[in-house]
Structure 1
Amino acid sequence: MTEIFNKKSQTIKRRILRNNMTRPELLLWTKLKNKQMDGYRFRRQFSIGRYVADFYCPELKLVIEIDGPNHNTKENIEYDRERDLFMHSLDINIIRISNSQILDNIDEAIVIIKTKIPFPLTKGEG
């Protein structure tokens, strides 16, 4: 079976990315870590195929990408499009949030994320 998630060949790359997170990534991570998002566990710098997602929740099949100004170049727009198509082929949803959205109003960014998260089940449901 082909290895898709957290390939061993990308361990060093993921570690470097985790140790060099941007300020917007760090700010969002403080809101996602330790199951703060309705009890769901998010992983940071998680590889999916040949790509590394900024944040991924396996239970929700949800990727959160923080996009800086470099995502507006022609090459990166095409790269992001191919990446999104690949992730969608695995039934993974993607939320893209800009650096400025997080820096200007992190609470609004959290609301955007929460629109993709189902309400947690209460005891007796499910």
Structure 2
Amino acid sequence: MRNGTTPFEAKLWRHLSRSQLGGFKFRRQHVIGNCIADFFCPAKGLIVEVDGDTHSVGKDLARDEMHAYQGFATLRFSNAEVGKNIEGVLASILDQLMALPDRWPHPNPSPEGEGKK
């Protein structure tokens, strides 16, 4: 896992933690395959990334395509967006969460039903 967090990630996390945004639970620095997502909502399969100046657009695009293939949606925001327009960022995240289908219950439940014997 990455050590530490950027001030912009910390700012966004203050709004995403404890299910504050629309009641949706987020995980911070969640491992997906060989990548670490800044934030992840497992109920909707939404990855939220906060990108600084060191991000490579090409690598990010390839990573987003790989995640889309796995059934995940990705939203990316720059440090500047989080720093200057947190309300707009939160509105965009909430809009995407509301538009995505629920991933639960599990997409492939057993024929007998979960927990039934």
Q: Under a length normalisation based on structure 2, what TM-score does the superposition of the two structures give?
A: 0.80
2: distance between equivalents of 1:99 and 1:79?
Answer: 18
2: distance between equivalents of 1:53 and 1:42?
Answer: 11
Instruction: Give 2:21's aligned amino acid.
Output: M
For 2:57, which of 49, 56, 77 is the aligned residue? 77
1: distance between equivalents of 2:30 and 2:84?
Answer: 26
* 1:3 alignment counterpart: none
Calculate the aligned-residue CA RMSD, in Å: 1.2
* 2:6 alignment counterpart: 22
For 2:70, which of 87, 90, 95 is the aligned residue? 90
Instruction: Give 1:53's aligned amino acid.
Output: A
Instruction: Extract unaligned runs of 5+ from structure 1.
Output: 1-12, 120-126
Instruction: Give 1:41's aligned amino acid.
Output: K
* 2:83 alignment counterpart: 103
Q: Encode CA deviations 1:52-73: one digit per residue, 9 max, x unaligned.
A: 00000010100000011112xx
Q: Encode CA deviations 1:26-67: one digit per residue, 9 max, x unaligned.
A: 000000000001111100000100000000001010000001
Higher share of residues assigned helix: 1
Q: For 1:1-126, what aligned pairs fall within 5 Å after superposition?
A: 13-14=1-2, 16=3, 20-71=4-55, 76-118=56-98
Q: Write out the 4+ residue segments of structure 1 that deviate beyond 6 Å after TM superposition.
A: none
- Using the aligned pairs only, state the percent identity: 33
1: distance between equivalents of 2:84 and 2:76?
Answer: 15
2: distance between equivalents of 1:117 and 1:97?
Answer: 15
Instruction: Give 2:68's aligned amino acid.
Output: H
